[in-house]
Amino acid sequence: MKQLLIVSLAASLVLNFGCSKPTPEQLFAKAQKDQRQAEAAADTARDPAKVRALFVPSLDAYRELVDTYPRSELAEPSLFMMGTIFNNNTHEYDRAVEAYKKYLDLFPGGKQAQLACFLIGYLYNNELHNLDSAAAAYRRFLDRYPNSEMAASAQFELSTLGKSPDELLPPPARDTVRRAPIAAKPAKAKVRKH
């Protein structure tokens, strides 16, 4: 009976202390470390699938933090970093949009809310080529942040949706441009030797 009690107590200690959940700080530190390692290795990787695989550990740690500790002060930067990795590193733009949308849902007044809102429109427009969604996202941005430093950019993006760069440039004014005569090259100065 005594042995059974000791074994039971030992098993309880292992389960309670040996398998404890990592804290938000531990998850965030792991995610950042894994992200730095992935970024260093991704510099030499050419295959997009390999690049995506490099970032799986950091994305998993960020995701675990957000899912396990949604009220932690580290959930906000974790979710934004997920969007940033999908956008800048793995180029999974649809997943970046999802992450930024979730960020706005959970942290509408967050530190990166304006940028997340703008990036949704930008990614829809420039990477996913979904002009209707881009227009809606830019309008949402302008409604939420009319006085933002990025408001002029959002307005420009909205007004130029679907236009090619050539359509944005004014036609050349060939008749009014006078060409300056080509100047002769200056003669090289002769150096006297003494």
**Per-residue pLDDT of the chain in tens (194 residues, 90 and over written 9):** 455 444 444 444 444 445 689 999 999 999 999 999 999 999 888 899 999 999 999 999 999 999 999 999 999 999 999 999 999 999 999 999 999 999 999 999 999 999 999 999 999 999 999 999 999 999 999 999 999 999 999 999 999 998 877 777 776 644 444 555 555 555 565 655 65
* Interacting residues of 73 by C-beta distance below 8 A, sequence separation 6+: 24
Is residue 31 within 8 A of residue 78, CB to CB? The reply is yes
Q: What's the length of the chain?
A: 194
User: Phi/psi class of residue 129: alpha, beta or left (left: φ > 0; alpha: ψ in -120 to 50)?
Assistant: left
* Whole-angstrom distance, CA of residue 124 vs CA of residue 178: 42
Q: Are 62 and 75 in contact (CB under 8 A)?
A: no
- Domain 23-108 belongs to what architecture? Alpha Horseshoe (1.25)
Residue 151 to residue 119: CA distance in whole angstroms = 12
Q: Where are the domains of the chain?
A: 23-108, 112-161
